[in-house]
Amino acid sequence: MNELQVLPEPARGPQLWWGMVFLLVVLVGMGYAAYRLNVWLDDEQQLPVRDIKVSGELKYLVKQDVENAIRKNQPGSFFELDIERALLDIEALPWVYRASIRKDWPNNLHVHVVEQQVVANWNDDMLLNSQGGTFNAAQPEGLVLPKLYGPQGSEQTALQGFRAMQALLARSGVSVSELVLTERFAWNLRLDNGLGLNLGRDEFIDRLQRFVDIYPLLKKDERRAEYVDLRYDTGLAVGWQKTTAEISKG
């Protein structure tokens, strides 16, 4: 009967030790390589953001302001630049309505900006955009804007009313230079010819139509109208400017 011989296992201690040493060396090498790569990527001198391209139909926004907003709070490294932070900084600029930004390899940025479309001056201290939002910016020199006034939170209502009335008055060749929406939501207008209109709260478009209908008669009158009060169910009241003789009398 054959006996089964069991051979002794070879000694594995030295091989296991050398394997662990080799693995440790590999891991240390990989860690050092990753560290050096990270240092290189963070070094703005190695890969700086060189060119920031700004696109969009810009009328009042200065492109240099966009670049300054990005570089002010960001490291110079292309890879370290935080896109979300840069976007917040750009959209914080007064004349920026909306923006997008992307990285262009190897070290450029492309920023697309939608500029605020200003339509009116709001309460003498803000500007009103075409969506009815306010923004804090200086009115550009030489830009003539209608003046809108109203309670806080009434910007959308005032703008909608302004547009509707502006469209109606355009048929008569006049436009709104000043609109006041009172705390009680009554409408008062000043036209570009200096004529004041008091429309009240209710059915202000119908009342304005009544003015449009009689405006040709007012223009024919030798006297000059100062204001027209339309707060009546039917009819209206006209206030006339004083003549030179009337002013001299009293």
**What value does the mean pLDDT take over residues 40-58?**
71
pTM: 0.76
Beta bridge partners of 66: none
The predicted pLDDT at position 71 comes to 86
For the chain, give the number of residues.
Answer: 250
The predicted pLDDT at position 42 comes to 47
Q: What is the DSSP pairing of strand 176-181 with strand 147-149?
A: parallel
**What value does the mean pLDDT take over residues 104-131?**
93
Superfamily of segment(s) 118-249: Cell division protein FtsQ/DivIB (3.40.50.11690)
Q: What is the pLDDT of the chain when averaged over all its residues?
A: 84
Is the pLDDT higher at 121 or at 108? 121
Q: How many CB atoms sit inside 10 A of residue 124's CB?
A: 9
Burial (Cβ within 10 Å: 0-12, 13-18, ≥19) of residue 192: middle
Q: What is the tally of helices (H) and strands (E) in the chain?
A: 6, 12
Tens of pLDDT along 82-94? 889 999 999 999 9
Domain 51-115 class, CATH top level: alpha beta
The predicted pLDDT at position 44 comes to 42
Place of tokens 């048929």: 171
Share of the chain above pLDDT 90, in %: 63
125 has pLDDT over 90: yes
Lowest mean pLDDT among 127-141, 156-170, 203-217, 235-249: 235-249
Lowest mean pLDDT among 27-31, 52-56, 207-211: 27-31
The predicted pLDDT at position 32 comes to 44
Over the range 96-109, which residues count as b (16 or more CB within 10 Å of their CB) and which as e? bbebebeeeeebeb
Report the Cα–Cα distance between both ends of the chain, in Å, rounded: 148
80 has pLDDT over 90: no
The predicted pLDDT at position 59 comes to 94
Is the pLDDT higher at 239 or at 45? 239
13 has pLDDT over 70: no
Query: For residue 225, what are its two tokens?
Result: 């109208």
Name the residue ranges covered by the structural domains of the chain: 51-115, 118-249
Beta bridge partners of 87: none
**What value does the mean pLDDT take over residues 20-41?**
54
Burial (Cβ within 10 Å: 0-12, 13-18, ≥19) of residue 132: middle
pLDDT interval class at 128 (50, 70, 90): very high
